[in-house]
A and B are shown apart, each in its own frame.
Chain A
Amino acid sequence: MNTTIRALMGACAFGALVTAAAAETTITVATVNNGDMVRMQSMMDAFNEAHPDIKVEWVTLEENILRQRVTQDIATKGGQFDVMTIGNYEVPIWGERGWLAPLSDLPADYDVDDLLPAMRGALSVDGTLYAAPFYGESAMIMYRTDLAEKAGVDMGEMPNWATVKDAAAKMTDKDNGIYGICLRGKPGWGENMAFISAMANSYGARWFDMNWEPEFDTAPWQDAFKDYLDLMTNYGPPGASSNGFNENLSLFQQGKCGMWIDATVAAGFVTDPAESTVADNVGYAVFPNKEGVDNHGNWLWSWNLAIPASTEKMDAAKTFVEWATSKEYTALVAEKQGWRAAPPGTRTSLYENADYTAAAPFAKLTIDTINEATPETPSVQETPYVGAQFVSIPEFQGIGTAVGQVFSAALAGQMDADQALAAAQALTDREMKKAGYIK
């Protein structure tokens, strides 16, 4: 009898274990190694406590590898990832193709209306949201207030390119290793072309006319690119053709740059006293425009959480995405690491929070620049595409990187501006013909 009871109890215990294991859903989240993403991984105790039935496995990869892996996975319906971290470049393209699950049934307490309109617009196709923004950014000028004061420069809140050039000239002190301006030069559609495209937007240029003909041979592009080369050649650091976001960040933090025009997210890094030697001397201004052109670059980027339509764990994936992009998560980060660490650029409520604006002096400019970005009209001229510092077509990654290599070569002194623009025009024309946009 005893043996029978023991056997039955054992069977029950085993059954309970099996049931518990079966009830647990494991989701795989692919992400990049950004500060905010890493922080999210350290907050997982709260998620696990609230959702003990969902186990999250992380795959953190370098940005380009991640992009390749998730594209490969979603295009081949590989099913390796249940949640993907993707940019606002991919979301509309993948959403339109039906590769992403629509996020149209978010609960009321998620407060979808709290998402910044610019972000929500950039992540929607025909009014349907296909990804939830985790953090977002625009671009702005970060400059050394001490150097500006010493040089007698007044940047103001909305300087134009002439002011920037004048300031760069005055702040440059090459003998002491200080360069007036640091800008991206490393080739890549998300590296130098993000900056140069935004700069071209602010000069009134556009990538394509309404017939998809490239426009590198037009005056606004010529002016923008020649001014970029002029600024970098005369006032930029040596070897700038190898500098991307991180290299410029490190130069600025070491006090080598008078100005740095880049993503707003950089403000958090350059004002961090643990890493930056100039943390107390940083001022901010709006991304410049060419005098008379009502466009400040239209830079808009966000890292977003999206769910592949092919996932078999849709409910668990949605639960995770809702949690990670919720107000509740922002409050959790603030509680554990302070308001300065809250993921920026996604929710209106964050910028209405006095604690956050007090902790992040760059908050107002960030929200203003994000709100002013209009990805649906990137240039003052009419465009056949939407986008911001990129063109939202699948071919842009290849074209943008190829043009970026030509422009980087010009910055390295291997060709002049006219040759680079002519080469960019020819290669873009060829690729657009090959892709069928131009007959």
Chain B
Amino acid sequence: MARAITNRRKTINTAVAWAIGIAIFFPILWIFILSFKTEGNAIATPLKMFFSGWTLESYGLVMERSNYFRFFMNSVILAVGSTLLGLIIAVPAAWSMAFVPSKHTKNILMWMLSTKMLPPVGVLVPLVLLFNKLGLTDTHFGLVVVLTLINLPIIVWMLYTYFKEIPGEILEAARMDGAGLKEEVLYVLTPMAIPGMASTVLLNIILAWNEAFWTLNLTTTAAAPLTQFIASYSSPEGLFYAKLSAASIMAIAPILIMGWFSQKQLVRGLTFGAVK
């Protein structure tokens, strides 16, 4: 029997949820406000910040100084490219683990996850040397491969979890009807796993978009994404908060908008199978 929730409890829950939401969102709000201030006002007292001195000056300066669209396009190429490549590898991998498991499947899954526990800096020098040797430094291809490898364990794990929720009997029935492996995966499994796959794609695009360690270390100009665009506005000597905030807003805006419009899909996918 469901428990009755009192109005008072409801109000408290709502207030707590709002407080947590605002606390999480506050840094972005703060950056947003600073981005519309002059450098002088950005460091002034909070009251001054809220009620006066709104300007687009920082955005103008950032656009004048940097080739934003080049950084933006590089981010798109790296995020979408690595997610697609990851899916091409992860869908068959997750299918085999979910529907044709062996006695080593669990160990393989754990091993894949364990690669996420290695601090990235531990493999920085070998990877830099390898990239230099192969001529992959500052190339889209090199970065797409690295970002794919970084996010592959997450893609496989997520898809494996979603695939596990799909009854094996349906796939069996498809096989009985004469579907080959390709048809089974493409026309039976994929449509049923769309919500899960969509959230996997969204999450991985966000992760690849925000990845800063490798994108800063393995790019220079040609493949440099928005993470480098942001890093170029931090200054050791001199005020930079307003310009850095403007650059940050310009860098996160596309992914924020994408996340906003797809939040239903994302939440649905992430909670898929959570309640039976």
- Interface residues, chain A, with chain B CB atoms under 8 Å away: 28, 32-35, 38, 41, 57, 59-63, 65, 68-69, 72, 76-81, 190, 245-246, 249-250, 253-254, 263, 265-266, 269, 274-276
- The answer, yes or no, to whether B231 is at the interface (CB within 8 Å) is yes
Contact yes or no, B216 A254, CB < 8 A: no
B238 to A, closest residue via Cβ: A35
The 5 closest A-B pairs by CB, nearest first: A60-B232, A62-B234, A63-B236, A250-B43, A33-B235
1/0 contact trace for B230-268 toward A, CB 8 Å?
011111111110000000000000000000000000000
Contact yes or no, B220 A249, CB < 8 A: no
Complex CA distance for A41 and B61, rounded to whole angstroms: 13
A59-B221 contact, Cβ under 8 Å, with A76-B132, A78-B132, A275-B239: yes
Contact yes or no, B233 A33, CB < 8 A: yes
How many chain-B residues does the 8 Å CB contact rule pick out? 30
B39: A residues at CB distance < 8 A: 275
A246: B residues at CB distance < 8 A: 235-240
Complex CA distance for A32 and B125, rounded to whole angstroms: 23
Of B220, B231, B238, the most chain A CB neighbours within 10 A belong to B238
Contact yes or no, A38 B65, CB < 8 A: yes
B128: A residues at CB distance < 8 A: 72, 76, 78
Contact yes or no, A33 B232, CB < 8 A: yes
- The answer, yes or no, to whether B29 is at the interface (CB within 8 Å) is no
Contact yes or no, A28 B216, CB < 8 A: no
B124: A residues at CB distance < 8 A: 72
- The answer, yes or no, to whether B228 is at the interface (CB within 8 Å) is yes
B43: A residues at CB distance < 8 A: 250, 253-254
Contact yes or no, A34 B236, CB < 8 A: yes
- Interface residues, chain B, with chain A CB atoms under 8 Å away: 38-40, 43-45, 65, 124-125, 128-129, 132, 137-138, 216-217, 220-221, 224, 228, 231-240
Contact yes or no, A65 B231, CB < 8 A: yes
Contact yes or no, A34 B138, CB < 8 A: no
Contact yes or no, A57 B238, CB < 8 A: no
Contact yes or no, A35 B237, CB < 8 A: yes
Contact yes or no, A32 B132, CB < 8 A: no
Cβ distance A398 to chain B, nearest Cβ, rounded Å: 14
B40: A residues at CB distance < 8 A: 253, 274-276
User: B236 is contacted by which of A41, A245, A250, A275 (Cβ under 8 Å)?
Assistant: A245
Cβ distance A414 to chain B, nearest Cβ, rounded Å: 26
Contact yes or no, A33 B234, CB < 8 A: yes
Chain A to chain B contacts (Cβ below 8 Å), 11 pairs: A28-B221, A59-B232, A60-B232, A61-B216, A62-B236, A72-B124, A76-B125, A246-B235, A246-B237, A253-B43, A275-B39
A62-B231 contact, Cβ under 8 Å, with A34-B238, A254-B43, A275-B40: yes
A263: B residues at CB distance < 8 A: 237
Apart from A41-B65, A78-B137, A245-B236: 5 A-B pairs, beta carbons within 8 A: A69-B217, A78-B128, A246-B235, A249-B239, A275-B40
Contact yes or no, A254 B228, CB < 8 A: no
Contact yes or no, B129 A76, CB < 8 A: yes
A269-B239 contact, Cβ under 8 Å, with A61-B232, A78-B128: yes
Complex CA distance for A81 and B163, rounded to whole angstroms: 47
Cβ distance A191 to chain B, nearest Cβ, rounded Å: 9
Cβ distance B238 to chain A, nearest Cβ, rounded Å: 5
Cβ distance A231 to chain B, nearest Cβ, rounded Å: 23
B232 to A, closest residue via Cβ: A60
B233 to A, closest residue via Cβ: A33
Contact yes or no, B220 A28, CB < 8 A: yes
Complex CA distance for A276 and B237, rounded to whole angstroms: 15
B42 to A, closest residue via Cβ: A250
A245: B residues at CB distance < 8 A: 236-237
B137: A residues at CB distance < 8 A: 78, 80
A35: B residues at CB distance < 8 A: 235, 237-238
Complex CA distance for A155 and B151, rounded to whole angstroms: 60
A253 to B, closest residue via Cβ: B43
Complex CA distance for A62 and B220, rounded to whole angstroms: 13
Cβ distance A80 to chain B, nearest Cβ, rounded Å: 5
Complex CA distance for A249 and B237, rounded to whole angstroms: 9
A38: B residues at CB distance < 8 A: 65
Complex CA distance for A227 and B259, rounded to whole angstroms: 53
Complex CA distance for A225 and B129, rounded to whole angstroms: 42
Complex CA distance for A79 and B236, rounded to whole angstroms: 25
A80: B residues at CB distance < 8 A: 137-138, 220
Complex CA distance for A276 and B43, rounded to whole angstroms: 10
B216 to A, closest residue via Cβ: A65
A57-B236 contact, Cβ under 8 Å, with A38-B65, A62-B231, A254-B44: no
B132: A residues at CB distance < 8 A: 76-79
Complex CA distance for A113 and B41, rounded to whole angstroms: 43
Cβ distance B188 to chain A, nearest Cβ, rounded Å: 48
A274: B residues at CB distance < 8 A: 38, 40
Contact yes or no, B235 A32, CB < 8 A: yes
A42 to B, closest residue via Cβ: B65
Complex CA distance for A123 and B201, rounded to whole angstroms: 51
A275: B residues at CB distance < 8 A: 39-40, 239
Complex CA distance for A33 and B238, rounded to whole angstroms: 9
A269-B238 contact, Cβ under 8 Å, with A72-B217, A76-B128, A78-B128: yes
B233: A residues at CB distance < 8 A: 33
B138: A residues at CB distance < 8 A: 80
A266 to B, closest residue via Cβ: B237
User: A59 is contacted by which of B220, B235, B236, B239 (Cβ under 8 Å)?
Assistant: B220
Complex CA distance for A78 and B219, rounded to whole angstroms: 11
Cβ distance B92 to chain A, nearest Cβ, rounded Å: 36
Complex CA distance for A35 and B65, rounded to whole angstroms: 13
B244 to A, closest residue via Cβ: A33
A81-B237 contact, Cβ under 8 Å, with A33-B232, A253-B43, A254-B43: no
A59: B residues at CB distance < 8 A: 220-221, 224, 228, 232
Contact yes or no, B221 A69, CB < 8 A: no
Cβ distance A390 to chain B, nearest Cβ, rounded Å: 15
Complex CA distance for A33 and B232, rounded to whole angstroms: 6
A249: B residues at CB distance < 8 A: 237-239
Contact yes or no, A57 B237, CB < 8 A: no
Cβ distance B131 to chain A, nearest Cβ, rounded Å: 8
